[in-house]
Amino acid sequence: MHQFFDRSIEYLKGVGPQRAETVNKELQIFTFGDLLQHYPFRHEDRSKFYKINELQPDLPYVQIIGVFKSFKTIGVGRKARLVGVFADDSGTIEMVWFKGIQWIQRNLTIGVSYVAFGKATLFNGKFNMAHPEVEVQTEKNTKGGYLQPIYHTTEKMKKKGLDSRFFSKAMKVLLVEAVNQIQETLPDHLISQFKLVNKKTAVVSMHFPRTAQHYTSAQNRMKFEELFFVQLRLIKLKIARTEKFRGAVIDHSELLTQFYENHMPFELTGAQKRVIKEVYSDFRSGQQMNRLVQGDVGSGKTMVAFLSMLIAIGSGFQCAFMAPTEILAEQHFKGLQEQAKPLGIHIARLTGSTPKSERRLIHEGLMSGVITILVGTHALLEDKVQFKKLGIAIIDEQHRFGVAQRAKLWTKTKDVYPHVLVMTATPIPRTLAMTLYGDLDISVIDELPSGRKPIQTKHFFETKRLEMFGFVENEIEKGRQAYIVYPLIEESATLDYKDLMDGYEGITRRFPNYQISIVHGRMKAEDKEWEMQRFLKGETQIMVATTVIEVGVNVPNATIMVIENAERFGLSQLHQLRGRVGRGADQSYCVLMSGVKLSTDGRKRLRTMVDTTDGFKIAEVDLELRGPGDLMGTRQSGVLDLLVSDLVQDGEILKVARVAAQDLLKEDPNLELPKHQMIKAHIDSFSKNAVNWGRIS
Ligand code: ADP
Ligand code: MG
C-alpha cells in the first residue's frame, strides 16, 4: 500500500548504491520512510544576517555577507594556515583555514560576494572565523528567513562526504515527492480539538521549518501523535485483556471486618484505606485485576496486601505473596503469620532453600486447599507449584521481577485468572508509569503513617569520618542501632569486598564495646539470616552490610543509616537504603559519606538526597539524570522506543494524549466507526513492525 516509503534510498537522486550502503550500515536507514524520519537534532538560525561591526564573542553561529579582499598563506607544511580578509561595508574579519588550504583558495575568488557562516571568536582583539561555510551569494540564500537543519551523522560518514548537508539535500529531494504520499493519521476532530498542524505540514517543518514557531508546532504534532498511539495501544491491550480474562468474583469482606474490628494494630492511613477500596472494587468487578500499588518505603504496603488477602480468603480463595529475596520472604512470612494467627489462617513459605520433603507437603497443601497463603521467592513460579483456587497473587518490589514472570502467575490455578497486585517502593514518575505500566491500573499510597519523623540526611566528606563515628556513637548510646552500608558492584566485586572488610575492621576497632554484625553476598543464606536475626533482636548494635539489606527489611529500632561511597550509588538505591530507617517513632538519620571529588551528577544525587525525602521528587531527578532507558533497566522494553518524544520533557503532551486515547476507545473500543478507520489502519500497519509509533507509512 505504501510502496513509496518502502523504496530503498539507493533510488533517491543523489544517493545511489554506494552511499546507500554506508547509510544503511551506519544509521540503519534503509527506506524512504526511514530517511524521512531521520529528523534533525537541531536547526541553525539562518534567518538573520549580521554586519561585521555587530559581531560579539558570545553570539552563536552567525552569517555575514561580504567579499574577500586578499588571501595569504602563513607558515609552512603542517603548520600552514590560509587567512582571507573578508569585508562588508562595516568592517573586516579574518577567515582562517588549517586544512584543505589549496582547494579552498582555488575555489574562492577575490571580489565575489559570498555568504559566510561560522562562529566569530575574538583573538588578539580582532574577530576571526575558523573554517566558515562559504557560499556564493545568490538571491535564494540572501533572502534569509530559514532554519538550517542539522542532522546526526557518524565520523565514518563524514569522511565520505555524507554530512549534515548531504542529508539536507537528500531530504529536499525526497520531500518533493513524499509530500504527496504522506497520509494523515489523526482524525479531524483530534486535530481541531488540540489545534494540531496536519501531518504533511508537520513532517516538512520537522526538517525545514520557516520559523522557530513552525518547528515547535511540528514537534508538538509529532509528539502528540507518537504518544497518542503508544497510549492507544496500551489501553487497547488492557481492554482486550479485561474482556478476555475473567477474574474470580471476590466479594465477602467478613473476615476483613473481623480482623479490622478486633486485631487491627493501628489506624490505617487515608491512603491505605483508599487503595484497599480500589482493590475491593476490582475484586467484585468480575474482571481480572492488574493493579500497581506505588508507595514510598514505609508507607505500609504490607498491610494493604494483607487486608486484600483477607477479602480473598474470606471468599474461599488462596493467596500467593512473592518477594524478591529470601530475607524479605522470611520477614513477610513471619509478619503475616503473626497477624494471621488470631484468625486461624494457615500460611506456608517456599524459597530456594526449602527442603525437598517440605516442598512436597507444600505442593499437596496447595492443591488440597489447606494452605491459604503461600509466601516465598520466585520459587513460587516453578511449574510444580499449583493451587486449588488461587484468588490473588501479590508481588512485592515489582522491579525485580520481569513482565514475563508476572504473566506466569496467571497459570497457577485452573478456571480463572488470579487477580494480580504489584507493589513497588520505587516511585516512578507519572509520565513513565503511564507508559511503562500503561496497561496496569495504578494506585498510589501517598501518605506515611502519622507520627513518623522525617529522616534527616547529612552529607559528610571522607575527611569528616571521625565526626561521623562520633555521631553514630551518640545515637547508639541512646539505645539505637545503626546500619553501615558498602557498595558492591559486580565488575569490581573483589575490590568492593576488600573495602567492606577493611571498613568492618575499622569499625570493630573504633567500637570495641559494641556487638557488630556483618552481612554480605558471599555468606551462606543461613549465616546471613542468623546475623540479621541478631540485629533484629537488638543483640548487635551495628550492622555492616552490602546492599543485600536494601529492600524491605524492617528493624524499627535502627535509626542510623550510614552509606559509604554514597556517590557510587544511584538515586533510587540511595532512597531505598535510607528507607530502612525511620520506621519507628524515634528521629532517624541518614549519613552519606563521599570522597571530596564528585562528578556533577554525583553531587546532584547527594544534594537531592539531603534536600528531600519525597520518593516521587527523587524519581523525577533520577529520570532527569539517567533518562528513561536506564531507569530500572527498561531500555529493552520497546515501549520506550520513542522517536520524537521525551518522557522527561513531554509529560504534559503525554497526559493529554492519554486522555484523548481513553476517550476515543470509550466511544469506540474496537475502532469500528468510519471516522476512526485511519487510526485503525495506522495501528495495523505498525503492529507488524511493533515498535515505531510515529511511523510515516
Ligand atoms: P512498605 O510500604 O515499605 O512495605 P511496611 O508495610 O513494611 O512498609 O510498613 C512499615 C511499617 O509501618 C511497619 O512496621 C508497619 O507495621 C507500619 N505501619 C503500616 N501502616 C501503618 C499505619 N497506618 N499506622 C502505623 N504504622 C503502620
Ligand atoms: Mg515492603
Q: Which residues pair with 66 in a beta bridge?
A: 114
Among 96, 85, 74, smallest CA distance to 52 is for 85
Quick check: 373 and 340 in contact, CB under 8 A? yes
What is the number of the ligand closest to the CA of 397? Answer: 2
DSSP state of 180: T
User: Cα dihedral sign for 184, 185, 189, 191?
Assistant: negative
Report which ligand 1 atom has the smallest distance to the Cα of 445.
Answer: 2
Task: State the pLDDT at residue 584.
Answer: 79
**Which ligand places an atom closest to the C-alpha of 449?**
1
pLDDT, residue 635, reads 39
286 C-alpha to ligand 2 centroid (Å) = 28
Per-residue pLDDT at 405: 66
Task: Tell me how far the alpha carbon of residue 546 lies from the centroid of ligand 2, in angstroms.
Answer: 19
- Strand locations in 477-579 (E): 481-485, 516-519, 542-545, 558-563
Residue after which a domain boundary falls, among 124, 145, 166? 145
- The C-alpha cell at 195 is 489545534
**Domain membership flag for residue 540:** yes
Cα(138)–Cα(65) distance, rounded to whole angstroms? 11
Same domain, 501 and 591: yes
Domain annotation covers residue 694: no
Q: Contact, 336 vs 320, CB < 8 A? A: no
CATH number at residue 555: 3.40.50.300
pLDDT at 490: 60
- How far is the C-alpha of 163 from the C-alpha of 167, rounded, in Å? 7
Spatial distance between the Cα atoms of 546 and 544, rounded to a whole number of angstroms: 7
Whether 660 maps to a domain, the answer reads no
The 3-state secondary structure of 300-356 reads CHHHHHHHHHHHHHHCCCEEEEECCCHHHHHHHHHHHHHHHHHHCCCEEEECCCCCH
- Structural domain including 570 reads 456-612
User: Which residue has the CA at smallest separation from atom 5 of ligand 1?
Assistant: 300
Q: Atom 9 in ligand 1: which residue has the minimum CA distance? A: 300
Are 324 and 398 contained in the same domain?
Answer: yes
pLDDT of residue 684: 81
What's the DSSP call for residue 632? G
Q: Whose CA is nearest to atom 14 of ligand 1?
A: 583
Best of 268, 302, 443, 559 for a ligand 1 pocket test (most atoms within 8 Å of beta carbon): 302
Which three cell numbers, joined as nine digits, stand for 120?
566569530
Is residue 507 a contact partner of residue 542, using CB atoms and an 8 Å limit?
yes
Among 297, 554, 555, 613, which residue has the most ligand 1 atoms within 8 Å of its CB, making it the best to mutate?
554
Burial of 163 from C-beta contacts in 10 A (0-12 / 13-18 / 19+)? middle
Closest-CA residue, ligand 1 atom 17, reads 300
Residues of the chain under the 50 pLDDT cut:
1, 631-639, 690-697
- Are residues 327 and 411 both part of a single domain? yes
Domain co-membership, 307 together with 418: yes
Q: CB–CB of 268/303 below 8 Å? A: yes
| Ligand 1 atom at shortest distance from the alpha carbon of 579 | 3
Residue nearest atom 19 in ligand 1 by C-alpha distance: 300
Residues 395 and 263 sit within 8 Å (Cβ to Cβ): no
Give me the pLDDT at residue 690, please: 44
Q: Are 480 and 403 members of one domain? A: no
pLDDT at res. 194 = 95
Nearest to 544 by CA among 589, 510, 501: 501
Rounded Cα–Cα distance for residues 166 and 111 (Å):
28
Residue 160's H or E segment, with its range, is none
Atom of ligand 1 nearest to the CA of 335: 16
Name the residue with cell 540564500. Answer: 141
Distance of CA 417 from the midpoint of ligand 2 (Å): 25
In terms of pTM, does the model score above 0.75? no
Residues 388 and 475 in one domain: no
H or E element, residue 73: strand 62-74
First to last CA, the chain: 9
Q: For residue 254, count CB atoms less than 10 angstroms from its CB and return exposed for 0-12, middle for 13-18, buried for 19 or more.
A: exposed
Same domain, 367 and 258: yes
Q: Are residues 515 and 395 in the same domain?
A: no
176 shares a domain with 97: no
How many distinct structural domains can be found in the chain?
A: 4
pLDDT of the residue at 628: 57
- Same domain (yes/no): 414, 270: yes
For the record, the C-alpha cell of 218 comes out as: 511540528
Q: Are 226 and 645 in contact (CB under 8 A)?
A: yes
Residue 398's SS3 state is helix
Rounded Cα distance between 557 and 536, Å, is 8
Cell numbers found for residue 57: 564573542
For residues 18 and 123, give the distance between their C-alpha atoms in angstroms, rounded to a whole number.
42
What tens digit of pLDDT does each residue of 635-654 get? 334 445 678 888 777 888 99
Q: Which ligand is nearest to the CA of 582?
A: 1
The rounded Å distance from CA 456 to ligand 1 centre is 19
Which of 383, 402, 424 marks a domain boundary?
424
Domain identity same for 260 and 402: yes
Quick one: cell of 69?
Answer: 579582499
Cell numbers at 472, concatenated: 553514630
d(CA 608, CA 542): 26
Enumerate residues lining ligand 1, CB below 6 A: 266-269, 272, 295, 297-303, 425, 449, 554, 583
Q: Is residue 332 within 8 Å of residue 375, measured between CB atoms?
A: yes
